[in-house]
A and B are shown apart, each in its own frame.
Chain A
Amino acid sequence: MFDQIAAVTLINLRSIPQRALLSGATVFSIALVVMVLLGFLAMSSGFSKTMQGTGSADVAVMLRTGSQTELNSGLSVDQLRLIEEAPGIARDANDIPIVSGELFVIVDGIKRASQTEANLPLRGVGPAAQSLRQGFTIVEGRTYEAGTNELIVGEGIIREFAGFDLGQTIRLGSNEWVVVGIFSTGGTVFDSEIWTDLTVIQNLYQRGTSVQSIRARLTSPEAIEEVRAYAENDPRLNLDIQSEVDYFASQAGGTAMLITYLGVPLSIAMAIGALAGAWNTMYSSVDTRMREIATLRAIGFSGFAAAFGTMVESLALAGLGGLIGAAGVYLLFNGVSASTLGSSFTQVVFSFAVTPMSVVLGLGLALIVGFLGGIIPAIRAATVPLLAVHRS
């Protein structure tokens, strides 16, 4: 039995070159389907990776109740002072609480790719801000000096937006700024931001002493409950307190899901289209070898062996298409930088990420197409009437 199957399968695979054109078209179309699927998944997982990689479990983000995003929030300096005294907040070597009141305004940048204006966050931060972001490093230049018109710019901004190079003077509204440093936080959302001293932003944008968000280092991830209890007991503190991980996870959801919801049905529709191609190829594979299959059957090969050979041919073509598609997406898109509007209404720069999981999914889709495309022709091969031996 095994010998039979091996023999028939070999005959099938050797006959592929006879249908080079049709087989090639099938491989190519399946490759395109897999590329579309993996392209969308790479976009979606690249975006989620950026958002999810951003949060730390031991940093709390505090916003005004109901405001959902930093953009809508507003907190007073009194609230900031109260939080600094809260239990569960970590302190540095000098016993100063690690808390940063932050304020951000949206400014315009020019996208390199499209030369159109896009929203960028200009974040005014307190001295503790840098130590509140894991992996924060100044890659080039130096940090800003408090109270001056100096900026530091995230790596993502440099990649996607024009005019923020080191040493450059930028005009935002009626104010001029100098870029003195480029920072990195290892590919998180903060790499898509521009930072400067909080008090400068407060002054230039007439915000008095107010801030929009407070970030604080917790003594442990569990300490967030202590801070919450403290805030609830003080009527002056109407705050939503979330760990940074939760905050970014909730912000990531929408866009990543939208990309996935758009990409998955599209690739399934395309897969159905390619299915027709695979089916057609396998159908004509059986068709042109009708006599050969009947001859094999006549000399005693089983119908199952004939079906199996056809199925292997179909799966081989589909698998090849899947591999080509996955390799194509990897070479074309993996690591490609892009940016889109995130939920805080500013641009988030991210990189396409082709994950092993998505490659597995893509190959799975290809093989499903191969299987469904091969199944009926395979059954047909198994049931070729023996009289077809005589057919011309």
Chain B
Amino acid sequence: MNDFTLIRKNLFRKKMRAILLIFSIMIAFLIFGALGAFYSVWTSGSSSAADNRLVTVNRINFTVSMPFAYWGRVEGVEGVTNVSHASWFGGYYQEPANFVQTFAVDPESWLAVYSELTMPDEQRAAFFNTRDCLLVGADLATQYGWSVGDRIPLLSNIWQKQDGTSSWDFEVCAVFDAEDDTLPTNYAMFHYEYYNEALAFNRDNIGWMVLTTIDAAQNDRIMREIDSLFANSPAETETSTEAAFNEAFAAQFGNIALILLFVVGAAFMTILMIVGTTMVMAINERTKEIGVMKTLGFPAPRIFRMVLIESILLSLVGGLLGLGLATLAVAGSAAAMAAFLPGLSMPPLVLSIGLALAIGLGFITGIIPAINAQRVTIVTALGKL
């Protein structure tokens, strides 16, 4: 037997109470873990963004296109290493509900800019050389069961061909993956030429450009230079870092961070109240025993420590269970959420913060009972004078 035996026995002295408390702590950490994972994937766009990658969009709005000729002009800006462009296709497969994120791109420069996308060399060559090739992300391929060699039509809900239809036929000739598992691979790409030549309207326009710079320190100058190239033209541009662009896009949905903070805050306030008051009560109930311990010669600091550890232990048990459950829940819903939130997984950072929160919660809920316990005087505790 040691102090820890005593702590453990005290914690589970009223089993029902301990289980209820652990349960409510678990729920709070489940909420924290699940929302934390959700939030970190939601904002992963800005964290996965390379710091030397810039995005140039039409100044009016990123949904407004710009002339194809801009691409060549940006290439000439000093400090730009690679430039590529993309156009939003608005694709769907068979039914409008089967939405497929699809971009018309310039293949070679695109893969040069997004060097983190990987695929076998022969598939890479096939993508470069096949006019009607569709380069499909691994997650997307899994979602629709597509594999290399399949021929599939994709429809656009925006564009029309000169023949009046909106359907482009493709051959899946390459499947890409990403170096890092957290990067999304739930989209597809194809040759800009194949798309542009068939367009009924809006030909020779591109949606946006992405470029890499020689050094992130030169980003500011390069952004200014690009935007000044097109100043006072009908399609002025706005260049920003990829991270800033992604952040601004995520922010359009509203202040998600604030809402999540509210919810997690409410969940933690709840357990703080419940656990805090229950711990105070539980220790009050034990005043006499603490008096006996002190009589036996247990020093006050040791009793203080034991109560505090008991409370931290309680939070840790509940917290770890909650975080574990959140990890399972996140893993379980990853497949179902793949289309909406690709790469949903439990980030280690969320787990570490959760662990720190559990210890913090234990400390906060334990400190007052621990001080009370430390202050117990033997004579009053034993109820005699």
Contacts and interface: CB of A to CB of B under 8 A. Distances in A.
In their complex, do chains A and B touch, with some C-beta pair under 8 Å? Answer: yes
B270 A66 contact: no
Contacts of B254: 338-341
B24 interface: yes
A105 B157 contact: no
A274 B24 contact: yes
Contacts of A86: none
Given A173-B235, A266-B263, A25 B20 contact: no
A91 interface: no
A174 B20 contact: no
Interface stretch (B58-66, B117-125, B206-214, B354-362): B58-66
Contacts of B115: none
Nearest to A377: B16
Contacts of B290: none
B135 interface: no
A32 B269 contact: yes
Interface string A188-216: 00000000000000001110001000000
Nearest to B57: A108
B61 A106 contact: yes
Interface in A137-174: 172-174
B277 A22 contact: yes
B274 A29 contact: yes
Contacts of A117: 248
A279 B30 CA distance: 20
A113 B255 CA distance: 9
B20 A276 contact: yes
B280 interface: yes
Contacts of A32: 266-267, 269-270
A230 interface: no
A118 B248 CA distance: 7
Contacts of A67: 157-158
A68 B96 contact: yes
Interface string A234-272: 000000000000000000000000000000001001101
A33 B20 contact: no
Among B160, B251, B254, the one with the most A-chain Cβ atoms within 10 Å of its Cβ is B254
A237 to B, nearest CB: 13
Contact of B251 (A29, A71, A111): A111
Interface string B245-259: 001100111110000
Contacts of B30: 269
B60 A105 contact: yes
A111 B274 CA distance: 39
A173 B237 CA distance: 8
A107 interface: yes
Interface in A24-52: 24-26, 28-29, 32-33, 35-36, 39
Contacts of B155: 66
A113 B258 CA distance: 11
B278 interface: yes
Contacts of B269: 28-29, 32
B100 interface: no
B201 interface: yes
Interface residues of A, number: 55
Contact of B253 (A66, A269, A274, A340): A340
B239 to A, nearest CB: 13
A22 B90 CA distance: 56
A127 interface: no
Interface in A69-115: 71-72, 74, 105-108, 111, 113-114
A25 B277 contact: yes
A283 B27 CA distance: 20
Interface in B174-191: none
Given A270-B270, A341-B253, A284 B157 contact: no
A56 interface: no
A273 interface: yes
Contacts of B20: 276-277, 279-280, 283
Nearest to A347: B252
Nearest to A204: B234
Given A22-B277, A36-B266, A66 B271 contact: no
B28 interface: yes
B146 interface: no
Given A270-B270, A280-B17, A347-B252, A39 B262 contact: yes
A188 to B, nearest CB: 19
B274 A280 contact: yes
B274 A274 contact: yes
A85 B64 CA distance: 33
Contact of A206 (B166, B234, B276): B234
B97 to A, nearest CB: 10
Given A277-B274, A279-B20, A71 B63 contact: yes
A210 to B, nearest CB: 8
A348 to B, nearest CB: 10
A152 B80 CA distance: 41
Interface in B13-67: 16-17, 20-21, 23-24, 27-28, 30-31, 35, 58-61, 63-64
Interface of B: 16-17, 20-21, 23-24, 27-28, 30-31, 35, 58-61, 63-64, 90, 96, 155, 157-158, 160, 166, 201, 232-236, 247-248, 251-255, 262-263, 266-267, 269-271, 273-274, 276-278, 280-281
Interface of A: 21-22, 24-26, 28-29, 32-33, 35-36, 39, 66-68, 71-72, 74, 105-108, 111, 113-114, 116-119, 172-174, 204-206, 210, 266, 269-270, 272-277, 279-280, 283-284, 338-341, 345, 347
12 contacts: A39-B262, A106-B64, A107-B60, A111-B251, A113-B255, A116-B251, A173-B64, A173-B235, A174-B233, A274-B274, A280-B17, A345-B63
Given A269-B27, A279-B20, 4 more contacts: A39-B262, A116-B251, A276-B274, A340-B253
